[in-house]
């Protein structure tokens, strides 16, 4: 049976209620989002040879009912050696594509959330053990594989170096991103985010810490940006014009002499020229020498700086958990959207609670219409629920 959903009403239709900035719609090409909240891509390290399973079914379907307007599937490897760990999700063959199909079908049946996917390649950070198993590099002799990177420069001093990619390797990975994007489109996914952050392959090309090449892909900023821009151009070319493509970036390495905010602004400027639909602003991950001062919203100023410099639609991430904090980020123009990860795991109905606090509305399937307390009886845009 197909669920019937209530129509979401804007908060401004409530007499005397000021419109919440967080619960105003936003347009990304042909995709209309009812609010400015995204469930951030979160690695689950629980796939079987790249294939989604019952854990992903539970995880994705649960958070598709969070009240967020968009859910982004975790970092998804475009080739087997591009996974961070043996347990990471993939979308590189028919089996990995088929494994996602029933999960997405269930989401579409029960939820109105848009579904994006983050396509990724771990580069030199691949072949690692799961975080709860220590996260260390797994040598090929112990069941791992040979990682690749822009240069033969290891992530940690005591690790074996990655294999520096040659022209053939670069072409293979470009083709892999394209093929995965095409598979995502066959699955009916609404949007694609390219992972250019957290020390993974595209970030490795951007950062002078990990990129020591002397060819057209290394050295100057223009050269270091070349491969990530080629990946974006190739993916954009195969994603239908009405579907958005964004990119996640690390705005700084938090290491002197590394990738930094001015360079990130240059990258964002180039991506805007090419039609990028959003930039998701994170930081760090390319070096264990990073020195980060953590605090609520600590990355928001970087998102704000990129938005101000480029005018790109910008997503703020990083220790955003409080409803009023999220509302202020949007209302003050620091970013256009917020993405929550740990906050959503801790509170899988974060979007409901935010809408209740701010006078907004969210969609929910009929079996949940009785959930809100009386003071928030209009949360789902309906005031009655008949029962016998």
Could you give the residue numbers annotated as active site? 200
Distance CA 332, CA 329 (A): 6
Tokens standing for residue 84: 């961070």
Which residues have CB under 8 Å from 48's CB, separation 6+? none
Task: Label each residue of 174-240 as H, E or C.
Answer: HHHHHHHHHHHHHCCCCEEEEEECCCCHHHHHHCCCCCCCCCCCCCCHHHHHHHHHHHHHHHHHHCC
3-state DSSP assignment of residue 119: strand
**Exposed, middle or buried: residue 355 (CB in 10 Å: 0-12, 13-18, 19+)?**
buried
Most distant CA pair in the chain, distance: 74
Q: How far apart are the two ends of the chain, measured CA to CA in Å?
A: 20
> Could you count the other beta carbons within 10 Å of the beta carbon of residue 382?
16
């Amino acid at each position: 049976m197909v669920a019937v959903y209530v129509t979401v009403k804007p908060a401004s239709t409530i007499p005397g209620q000021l419109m919440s900035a967080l619960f105003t719609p936003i347009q990304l090409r042909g995709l209309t989002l009812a609010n400015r909240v995204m469930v951030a891509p979160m690695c689950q390290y629980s796939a079987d040879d790249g294939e989604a399973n019952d854990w992903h079914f539970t995880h994705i379907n649960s958070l598709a009912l969070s009240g967020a307007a968009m859910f982004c599937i975790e970092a998804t490897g475009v080739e087997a050696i591009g996974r961070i760990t043996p347990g990471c999700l993939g979308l590189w063959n028919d089996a990995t594509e088929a494994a996602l199909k029933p999960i997405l079908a269930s989401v579409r049946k029960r939820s109105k959330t848009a579904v994006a996917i983050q396509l990724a390649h771990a580069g030199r950070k691949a072949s690692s053990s799961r975080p709860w198993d220590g996260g260390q590099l797994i040598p090929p002799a112990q069941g791992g594989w040979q990682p690749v990177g822009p240069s033969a420069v290891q992530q940690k001093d005591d690790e074996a170096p990655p294999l520096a990619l040659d022209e053939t390797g670069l072409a293979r990975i470009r083709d892999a991103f394209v093929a995965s994007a095409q598979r995502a489109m066959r699955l009916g996914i609404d949007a694609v985010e390219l992972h250019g952050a957290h020390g993974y392959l595209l970030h490795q090309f951007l950062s002078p810490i990990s990129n020591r090449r002397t060819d057209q892909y290394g050295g100057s900023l223009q050269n270091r940006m070349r491969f990530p821009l080629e990946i974006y151009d190739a993916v954009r070319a195969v994603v239908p014009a009405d579907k958005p493509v964004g990119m996640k970036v690390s705005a700084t390495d938090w290491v002197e002499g590394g990738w930094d905010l001015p360079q990130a602004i240059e990258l964002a400027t180039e991506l805007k020229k090419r039609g990028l639909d959003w930039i998701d602003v994170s930081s760090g991950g390319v070096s264990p020498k990073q020195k980060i001062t953590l605090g609520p919203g600590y990355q928001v100023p970087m998102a704000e700086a990129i938005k101000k410099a480029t005018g790109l639609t910008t997503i703020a991430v990083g220790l955003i958990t409080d409803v009023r904090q999220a509302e202020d980020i949007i209302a003050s123009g620091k970013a256009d959207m917020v993405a929550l990860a740990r906050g959503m795991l801790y509170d899988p109905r974060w979007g409901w609670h935010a809408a209740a606090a701010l006078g907004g509305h969210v969609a929910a399937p009929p079996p949940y219409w009785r959930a809100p307390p009386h003071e928030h009886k209009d949360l789902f845009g309906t005031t009655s629920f008949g029962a016998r």
